[in-house]
C-alpha cells in the first residue's frame, strides 16, 4: 500500500484506502466489470439464477454475492421535522458542510462513533455544540486510545491470548478457554484485564478531572469496553479529548421531539435555539432491495417478527442459550438496560455468518452474504470470509449436516446477544473473537489456522493482514494438488 496520504500518527487514512482499492481494481482488470453509480433497487430469482434491477437496467447471473456493507443507508430520524428545519444524517455532512459552517449553534443527536466524530468536527470548527443522547439508550460509546503502553490497541486486541480473554463461541472447547471461563481464577483474570483497558480509556479521557467530560463516561462502569453495550470506538486524533474539553460543548441525556426552523423542542420540554441538527443515530435497512419472503429464505432479519420461522428456531435458540451459559458462565452477568423487546432483536440465520441456511439445506450454492460480521479486523476477515464463501459456491467445500448447521447458527445467535449485549442482539459481532472465526474457516478449507512460527508468537504476537497474506496462494496450490 502506498504511504502517500499517511497522517503523522502513522495510521491508515481513508485517502490511502481509496487509492489502494482503485489501484487494486485497475491492476486486476476489474474496472470494466464495475457499474458505477448503480443502486440496486430489487433482487429476485429468475430462470438463470438471480435478477437484479439497478437504475432501470436488469442484470442476470447464475450466482449472487451480497456485499452491500452495513453503513450505506442512513437510519430514520426519530423526531418530527417541521418545514424550514435544517436536519441531515451524519453520512451527508460533507455535502451539507457550507450550511453547517454558516451555523452558529449545532445540535448533534447520537451516542456512538459518528456522534463523537461530528462533535469533534464541530468543536474544531469553533461551533457551539449541544450533544444529545437519549436517556433510555445504552449511553456514550467507550472510546479507546489507539495506543496503550506504546502498543497499538488493535494489535493488542489481535493476539490469540486476547481472543481467549473474551468468552468466545469459537474456542469454548479448548483447555485455555476452560481455564479462563470455567474457573473462578480465570474469570477473575478476564475481568481484571478488561478493567485495565477500561481504566486506560477513562484516564485518556480524563473522566476524573473537573473538565466537564464526566457525562461521557460509558456504562457499565469498569467493564464498558468488555460488554460493548454501545459498541466500541478508537481515537485516532491526538487532540480528540482536548478539542472536546476546550470546545463550546454541552452534553445532555435528552431527545428531540420536534425540529423547527431555528430551534428544537426537547422531550424534557426545553427549547434550544440552533441553526442545524445532525442526526448521528446509525444506519437503516441495507437489505431493502429484498422482498420479505426472499429475506426470510436468505436468513436475513426482516426487522419484523420471524413468524412461522420463529417457531422452527425457538427450541434450538433456547437450548443454544443454555449451552452457551453453561460453557461461559460469565455471560450470565451480561448487562441489559431493561428487557430487550423482540422488535429490537434481529435473527440472522446464516451458517458461518455468510451462507443462508435454507439454501444450504437444499444444496443451492448460488448465493452468499458477506461483510455482516462486526470485528476489529474488517479487511482481514473480509478476505478470508470471501475465500471460504467462494470455495463453497464453487462446490469445493463440504458442509456439515443440517443438525450441525442449525446448532452453529443458533449458538452463535445466542452467544452474540449474551456476549455483546444489546448490540449483539441486533448485529452479528465477533469484535474480539475474529481469530477463532478465521481458524474455523481456514480449517474448513484445509489451510493452516495457527500461522505463527512458535508457541510464544502464536499467543503473544498480533495476528493481522500480513499473517494471512499467503492464504489465497496456499488455497490455489491445494486446489491444483487435489485436481492433479
Q: Strand, coil or helix: what is 283?
A: strand
Give the CB-nearest residue to ligand FAD: 69
Angle among Cα 306, 46, 43 to the nearest 5 degrees reads 50
Of 192, 143, 142, 138, which is closest to residue 165 (Cα–Cα)? Answer: 192
- 286 is an interface residue for ligand FAD by CB under 6 A: yes
Minimum separation from the CB atom of position 473 to ligand FAD (A):
23
Helix (H) or strand (E) holding 192: helix 184-205
Angle among Cα 159, 162, 167 to the nearest 5 degrees reads 140
Nearer to ligand FAD, 227 or 374 (CB): 374
The residue count for binding ligand FAD (CB under 6 A) is 12
Restricting to residues 202-261, which ones interact with ligand FAD according to CB under 6 A? Answer: none
Q: Strand pairing partners for 273?
A: 263
Contact range with ligand FAD by CB under 6 A, out of 66-74, 95-103, 215-223, 470-478: 66-74
Binder of ligand FAD out of 68, 125, 252, 397 (CB under 6 A):
68
Binder of ligand FAD out of 146, 197, 226, 289 (CB under 6 A):
289
Q: Is-contact 258 80, C-beta < 8 A? A: yes
Contact range with ligand FAD by CB under 6 A, out of 64-72, 92-100, 303-311, 455-463: 64-72
All cell numbers assigned to 253: 441525556
Contact range with ligand FAD by CB under 6 A, out of 67-75, 222-230, 349-357, 464-472: 67-75
Contact range with ligand FAD by CB under 6 A, out of 69-77, 186-194, 205-213, 408-416: 69-77
Binder of ligand FAD out of 371, 424, 428, 462 (CB under 6 A):
371
Minimum separation from the CB atom of position 254 to ligand FAD (A):
23
All cell numbers assigned to 169: 463461541
Q: What sections of 4-159 are H helices per DSSP?
A: 14-27, 97-101, 113-124, 153-156
- 7 is an interface residue for ligand FAD by CB under 6 A: no
Please tell me the distance from the alpha carbon of residue 188 to that of residue 475, in angstroms, as a whole number.
Answer: 41
Helix (H) or strand (E) holding 186: helix 184-205
Q: What is the contact mask toward ligand FAD in residues 410 to 449, using x (rule: CB under 6 A)?
A: ----------------------------------------
Minimum separation from the CB atom of position 176 to ligand FAD (A):
27
Binder of ligand FAD out of 6, 16, 25, 40 (CB under 6 A):
40
Nearer to ligand FAD, 328 or 438 (CB): 438
Which sign, positive or negative, has the C-alpha torsion 369, 372, 378, 384? negative
Q: Is-contact 88 279, C-beta < 8 A? A: yes
- 378 is an interface residue for ligand FAD by CB under 6 A: yes
Contact range with ligand FAD by CB under 6 A, out of 61-69, 322-330, 333-341, 355-363: 61-69
Binder of ligand FAD out of 39, 185, 338, 473 (CB under 6 A):
39
HSE at residue 228, side-chain half, CA atoms within 13 A, is: 24
Q: Is 152 exposed, middle or buried (0-12, 13-18, 19+ CB in 10 A)?
A: middle
Q: What is the contact mask toward ligand FAD in residues 100 to 139, using x (rule: CB under 6 A)?
A: --------------x-------------------------
How would you classify residue 231: left for phi > 0, otherwise alpha for psi between -120 and 50, otherwise beta?
A: left
Interface with ligand FAD (CB under 6 A): 39-40, 67-69, 71-72, 114, 286, 289, 371, 378
Amino acid at each position: 500500500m502506498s504511504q502517500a496520504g499517511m497522517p503523522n500518527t502513522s495510521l491508515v487514512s481513508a485517502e490511502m484506502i481509496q487509492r489502494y482499492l482503485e489501484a487494486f481494481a485497475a491492476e486486476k482488470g476489474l474496472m470494466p466489470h464495475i457499474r458505477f453509480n448503480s443502486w440496486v433497487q430489487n433482487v429476485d430469482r429468475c430462470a438463470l439464477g438471480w435478477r437484479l434491477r439497478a437504475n432501470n437496467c436488469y442484470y442476470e447471473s447464475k450466482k449472487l454475492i451480497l456485499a452491500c456493507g452495513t453503513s450505506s443507508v442512513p437510519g430514520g430520524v426519530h423526531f418530527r421535522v417541521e418545514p424550514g428545519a435544517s436536519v441531515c444524517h451524519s453520512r451527508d455532512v460533507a455535502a451539507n458542510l457550507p450550511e453547517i459552517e454558516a451555523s452558529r449553534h449545532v445540535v448533534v443527536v447520537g451516542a456512538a462513533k459518528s456522534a463523537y466524530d461530528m462533535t469533534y468536527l464541530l468543536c474544531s470548527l469553533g461551533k457551539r455544540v449541544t450533544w444529545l443522547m437519549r436517556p433510555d439508550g445504552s449511553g456514550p460509546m467507550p472510546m479507546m486510545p489507539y495506543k496503550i503502553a506504546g502498543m497499538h490497541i488493535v494489535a493488542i486486541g489481535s493476539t490469540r491470548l486476547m481472543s481467549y480473554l473474551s468468552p468466545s463461541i469459537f474456542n469454548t472447547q479448548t483447555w485455555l478457554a476452560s481455564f479462563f471461563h470455567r474457573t473462578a481464577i480465570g474469570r477473575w483474570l478476564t475481568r481484571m484485564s478488561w478493567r485495565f483497558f477500561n481504566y486506560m480509556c477513562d484516564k485518556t479521557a480524563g473522566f476524573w478531572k473537573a473538565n466537564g467530560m464526566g457525562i461521557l463516561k460509558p456504562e457499565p462502569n469498569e467493564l464498558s469496553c468488555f460488554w460493548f453495550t454501545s459498541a466500541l470506538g478508537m481515537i485516532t486524533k491526538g487532540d480528540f479529548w482536548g478539542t472536546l474539553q476546550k470546545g463550546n460543548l454541552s452534553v445532555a441525556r435528552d431527545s428531540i421531539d420536534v425540529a423547527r426552523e431555528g430551534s428544537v423542542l426537547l422531550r424534557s420540554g426545553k427549547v434550544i435555539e440552533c441553526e442545524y441538527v445532525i442526526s448521528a443515530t446509525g444506519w437503516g435497512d441495507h437489505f431493502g432491495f429484498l422482498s420479505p419472503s426472499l429475506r426470510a429464505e436468505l436468513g436475513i432479519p426482516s426487522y419484523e417478527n420471524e413468524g412461522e420461522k420463529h417457531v422452527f428456531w425457538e427450541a434450538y435458540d433456547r437450548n443454544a442459550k443454555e449451552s452457551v451459559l453453561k460453557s461461559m458462565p460469565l455471560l450470565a452477568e451480561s448487562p441489559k438496560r431493561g428487557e430487550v423487546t423482540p422488535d429490537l432483536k434481529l435473527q440472522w440465520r446464516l451458517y458461518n455468518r455468510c451462507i443462508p441456511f435454507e439454501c444450504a439445506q437444499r444444496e443451492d450454492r448460488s448465493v452468499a452474504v458477506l461483510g455482516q460480521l462486526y470485528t476489529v479486523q474488517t479487511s482481514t476477515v473480509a478476505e478470508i470470509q470471501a475465500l471460504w464463501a467462494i470455495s463453497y459456491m464453487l462446490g469445493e467445500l463440504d458442509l456439515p449436516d443440517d443438525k450441525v448447521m442449525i446448532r452453529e447458527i443458533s449458538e452463535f445467535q445466542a452467544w452474540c446477544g449474551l456476549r455483546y449485549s444489546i448490540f449483539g442482539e441486533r448485529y452479528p459481532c465477533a469484535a474480539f473473537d475474529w481469530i477463532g472465526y478465521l481458524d474455523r474457516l481456514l480449517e474448513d478449507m484445509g489451510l493452516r489456522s495457527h500461522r505463527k512460527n512458535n508457541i510464544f508468537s502464536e499467543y503473544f504476537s498480533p495476528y493481522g493482514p500480513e499473517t494471512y497474506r499467503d492464504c489465497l496462494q496456499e488455497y490455489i496450490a491445494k486446489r491444483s494438488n487435489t485436481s492433479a
